[in-house]
């Protein structure tokens, strides 16, 4: 018999199925709920409150009220609460990891990693909130002084995806709260439990009611419509697909809301002939198969120089043969399922189309039998840049391997996409490290490294991969307005 999720936790109170508004745990007005499933089994693990437009508006109004006091607190007071929240997340990391694995499917090792990463944003931004500096600006008139100060932008709406159910929240909520804003969050319907557990811990940390509100809903369109049109919302921060991001930007236009967009990617990973394959293999495996390929910075196009192409394919095939796809409850699992049956079917269709266009399957390539939404590690070769798969985000454990001859050809192939989030390359050549880094039209470049994300560095994309940066000293800017004050008659 399977053990219920709540019974796997040290602290059962972290398992929440109600929405969280104004410090209250709430059902939907009409008592409607939606099911959350474990993607490794397809079984329902929770029924979560399914809120609509009216409760979204209520959450926005509450946030606006709560923020009036919060913005007047000292940065240190806000930082102390965030620091406490950070400690509580770490203290409860095992429970949070179990909740995440149950709703998202990633292995416990990956979930533990994400919880640490998630907590790091709260600590980092607690500190950065104390460093929101302004400027004194010399003016032409000797009896005047110019000053620029930074103030919280206002109520922040956040819409987050299911692939990183905790970290995508803290990298938005951390900076917002630290500088004095309040947040209304709509987490992905596939993974609301991680978000609700974070709220439970925020409350225990002493975060005042109304500052962090969570509108759980299966009706993204209705909730999204309020979050993008309500005049009290001053900023929307979104992580998700490019089509939805574009739609939300358009919806935000009528009230001129500030937007931060962290959208899709089509990451290249270039392996030059002079690369050290012992370094390349673990790097490619991390970039391609972490979270079973479901990250926006996953290596989507592996572009390998002719001289080492065959050896690379042989070694990659041997490495993926060791993978063990399974449920988080199975200690032997090295990789988890995809998020839904539809996601698995979509990956399968992309592979099938590539094969119809002339690709060869080295391994994998067949949708796994249920239960659960598994897809095997797959390697595709005989690919070229005219095929559909070159331009689409695979979002699954499928390594699409291309070949190239010259450095210029590799750079051209890498940049041949409307996306520009992350790119990676491997070389032992110093000149090439600089030149190729500069030539890649990407917000983030990993040279001889694919584990590039951290709270201290700017995460974000060029081109249609988005706008704004999360993490780093730049990560607070999107939550601040700049106000110029001119003081006259000081002569």
Residues carrying an active site annotation: 262, 296
DSSP type of residue 427: -
Residue 475 structure tokens: 């990560």
Cα separation of 448 and 426, whole Å?
Answer: 5
Cα separation of 350 and 293, whole Å?
Answer: 14
Nearest to 66 by CA among 81, 51, 83, 84: 81
Cα separation of 416 and 423, whole Å?
Answer: 12
- Residue reference for tokens 């620091």: 83
CB of 117 to ligand ADP, least distance (A): 18
Nearest to 182 by CA among 151, 213, 149, 216: 213
Nearer to ligand ADP, 422 or 476 (CB): 422
In this structure, are residues 187 and 63 in contact, taking their beta carbons and an 8 Å threshold? Answer: no
Query: Any contact of residue 148 with ligand ADP (CB under 6 A)?
Result: no
What's the 3-state SS for 375-418?
A: CCCEEEECCCCCCHHHHCCCCCCEEEEEEECCHHHHHHHHHCCC
Query: Any contact of residue 241 with ligand ADP (CB under 6 A)?
Result: yes
Contact region for ligand ADP (CB under 6 A) — 70-78, 218-226, 327-335, 431-439? 218-226
Query: Any contact of residue 161 with ligand ADP (CB under 6 A)?
Result: yes
Query: Any contact of residue 368 with ligand ADP (CB under 6 A)?
Result: no
Query: Any contact of residue 285 with ligand ADP (CB under 6 A)?
Result: no
Cα separation of 345 and 315, whole Å?
Answer: 28
Nearer to ligand ADP, 190 or 478 (CB): 190
CB of 236 to ligand ADP, least distance (A): 9
φ, ψ dihedrals at 453, nearest 5°: -80, 140
Cα–Cα distances in angstroms (integers) from residue 340 to residues 40, 232, 375, in the given order: 9, 35, 11
CB of 307 to ligand ADP, least distance (A): 37
Nearer to ligand ADP, 213 or 403 (CB): 213
CB of 296 to ligand ADP, least distance (A): 8
Query: Any contact of residue 448 with ligand ADP (CB under 6 A)?
Result: no
Residue 489 structure tokens: 């008659």
Residue 275: how many other CB atoms lie within 10 Å: 21
Query: Any contact of residue 247 with ligand ADP (CB under 6 A)?
Result: yes
Applying CB under 6 A, among 54, 109, 139, 221 the residue interacting with ligand ADP is 221
Nearer to ligand ADP, 186 or 350 (CB): 186
Nearest to 288 by CA among 271, 309, 276: 271
Applying CB under 6 A, among 66, 159, 284, 367 the residue interacting with ligand ADP is 159
Nearer to ligand ADP, 11 or 32 (CB): 32
Contact region for ligand ADP (CB under 6 A) — 238-246, 273-281, 298-306, 384-392? 238-246
Query: Any contact of residue 189 with ligand ADP (CB under 6 A)?
Result: yes
Applying CB under 6 A, among 53, 188, 233, 367 the residue interacting with ligand ADP is 188
Q: Residues touching ligand ADP: how many (CB under 6 A)?
A: 14
CB of 174 to ligand ADP, least distance (A): 18
Cα separation of 125 and 471, whole Å?
Answer: 8
Nearest residue to ligand ADP on Cβ basis: 224
Nearer to ligand ADP, 296 or 413 (CB): 296
Applying CB under 6 A, among 160, 266, 292, 305 the residue interacting with ligand ADP is 160
Query: Any contact of residue 224 with ligand ADP (CB under 6 A)?
Result: yes
Residue 191 structure tokens: 């993974």
Which residues lie below 8 Å from residue 184, measured CB to CB, with a gap of 6+? 56, 59, 60, 63, 155, 156, 157, 158, 213, 215, 227, 233
Nearer to ligand ADP, 244 or 275 (CB): 244
Contact region for ligand ADP (CB under 6 A) — 141-149, 154-162, 408-416, 428-436? 154-162
Binding site for ligand ADP (CB under 6 A): 159-161, 186, 188-189, 220-221, 224, 240-241, 244, 247-248
């Amino acid at each position: 018999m399977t053990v219920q999720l709540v019974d796997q936790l040290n602290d059962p109170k972290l398992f929440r199925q109600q929405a969280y508004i104004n410090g209250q745990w709430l059902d939907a007005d009409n008592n409607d709920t939606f099911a959350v499933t474990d993607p490794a089994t397809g079984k329902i693990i929770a029924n979560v409150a399914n809120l609509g437009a009216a409760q979204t508006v209520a959450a926005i109004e509450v946030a606006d009220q709560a923020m009036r006091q919060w913005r007047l607190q000292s940065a240190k007071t806000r930082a102390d609460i965030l620091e406490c929240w950070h400690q509580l997340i770490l203290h409860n990391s095992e429970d949070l990891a179990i909740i995440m694995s149950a709703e998202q499917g990633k292995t416990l090792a990956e979930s533990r990693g994400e919880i640490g990463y998630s907590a790091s944003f709260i600590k980092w931004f607690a500190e950065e909130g104390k460093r929101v500096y302004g400027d004194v600006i010399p003016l032409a008139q000797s009896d005047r002084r110019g000053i620029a100060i930074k103030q919280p932008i206002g109520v922040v709406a956040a819409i987050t995806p299911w692939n990183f159910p905790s970290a995508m929240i803290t990298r938005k909520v951390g900076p917002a709260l630290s500088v004095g804003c309040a947040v209304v969050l709509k987490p992905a319907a596939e993974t609301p439990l991680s978000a609700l557990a974070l709220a439970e811990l925020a409350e225990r940390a002493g975060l005042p009611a109304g500052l962090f509100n969570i509108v759980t809903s299966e009706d993204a369109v209705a909730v999204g419509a309020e979050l993008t049109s309500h005049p009290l919302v001053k900023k929307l921060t979104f992580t998700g697909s490019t089509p939805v991001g574009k739609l939300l930007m358009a919806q935000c236009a009528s009230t001129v809301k500030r937007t931060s967009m962290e959208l899709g990617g089509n990451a290249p990973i270039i392996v030059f002939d002079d690369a050290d394959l012992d370094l390349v293999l673990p790097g490619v495996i991390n970039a391609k198969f972490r979270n079973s390929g479901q990250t926006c910075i996953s290596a989507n196009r592996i572009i390998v120089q002719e001289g080492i192409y065959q050896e690379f394919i042989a070694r990659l095939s041997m490495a993926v043969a060791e993978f063990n796809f399974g449920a988080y409850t199975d200690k032997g699992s090295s990789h988890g399922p995809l998020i839904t049956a539809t996601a698995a079917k979509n990956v399968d269709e992309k592979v099938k189309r590539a094969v119809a266009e002339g690709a060869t399957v080295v391994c994998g390539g067949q949708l796994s039998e249920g239960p659960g939404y598994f897809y095997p590690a797959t390697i595709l070769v005989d690919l070229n840049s005219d095929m559909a798969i070159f331009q689409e985000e695979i979002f699954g454990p499928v390594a699409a391997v291309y070949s190239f001859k010259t450095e210029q050809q590799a750079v051209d192939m890498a940049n041949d996409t409307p996306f520009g989030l992350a790119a990676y390359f491997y070389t032992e050549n110093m000149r090439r490290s600089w030149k190729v880094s500069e030539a890649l039209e990407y917000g983030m470049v990993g040279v001889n490294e694919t584990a590039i994300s951290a709270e201290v560095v700017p995460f974000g994309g060029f081109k249609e991969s988005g706008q704004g940066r999360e993490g780093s000293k730049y990560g607070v800017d999107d939550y601040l307005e700049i106000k110029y004050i001119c003081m006259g008659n000081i002569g």
